[in-house]
Amino acid sequence: MLRRVQASLPMAAGFEVSREKIESWNHEGYMVVRRLFHADEVAELSRHFDAIAASGTPIPRYWEPDLSPEAAGDPLKRYPRVMMPHRWDELSRRWLLDPRVHDVLVAILGEEPIATQSMFYFKPPGARGQAMHQDNFYLQVKPKTCVAAWTAIDPATPENGGLYVVPGTHRMDIVCPEKADEGDSFTTHFVRAPAGMKAVPTLLEPGDTLFFNGSLIHGSGPNRSKTMWRRSFICHYMPEGATNISKFYFPLFNFSGAEVQREASSGGGPCGDQFDTQKFTSDGSRWH
């Protein structure tokens, strides 16, 4: 069940969420906080991950680029997602546990958040997008749902594969996915928007953070720009009151950096064992 947030809530670290933003969260299932991260912070993170990419050195299990000539036609082979960098990278851990993110999450959740996941997307020109999906299909947070914090490192537009959301779908249950068009999507799952509900683009500038509900249908198209990258830093969180999450996301952390314990969700959730996310791998198409 969705919790309706009341008005603006001042937070301990000094960041305050406006009534307008909270209303967007309640009614649409998402909200954008402009310039949550400063330009110098974005530039630092950009340089940091660009250096990792330029090195071409794999980080086993977390970032494994394919430098073979056969992979040259797929930009995401050379520049795959960086998975869970907070587990081995101090700068990523600071972004995951940033107090401003904490303040926004407390305002929309009404309780303390727990950090579960971080990712860095490169998405160079020509890269495929990610078909429409719901995040809590993968995280399996119970009860309630997860929350994403999606921060733009470059401008995110429809041309370069920026994110689309389907407002109001946060009120839906998790939908069992269909097969995605792998010509446009690097993942294999696709969730169709209900009749009468349409996807809208979220136009973001560097440092803007899009927060959205784990049931909200969202996704992106290919990067059709000839020159623009669409890099982003993405984190997921769960409410402190949730008791279960997919074991893939262990270990979990509170915003003091301490590890916290929760029970592992089992099976494939409402979609059955054929969608058991514990079986997903890091092959770029099955690991969220």
- In this predicted model, what pLDDT tens digit does every residue of 8-23 receive, in sequence order? 433 444 688 999 999 9
- In this predicted model, what pLDDT tens digit does every residue of 195-216 receive, in sequence order? 999 999 999 999 999 999 999 9
Q: How far is CA 134 from CA 148, 166, 278, in A?
A: 11, 11, 17
- Secondary structure (3-state) at 171: helix
- Secondary structure (3-state) at 245: strand
Which of the residue ranges 135-144, 170-179, 224-233, 274-283 would you say has the lowest mean pLDDT?
Answer: 274-283
- In this predicted model, what pLDDT tens digit does every residue of 82-114 receive, in sequence order? 999 999 999 999 999 999 999 999 999 999 999
Domains of the chain: 19-269 (2.60.120.620)
Find the helix or strand (DSSP H, E) in which 233 lies: strand 232-239
pTM exceeds cut of 0.75 = yes
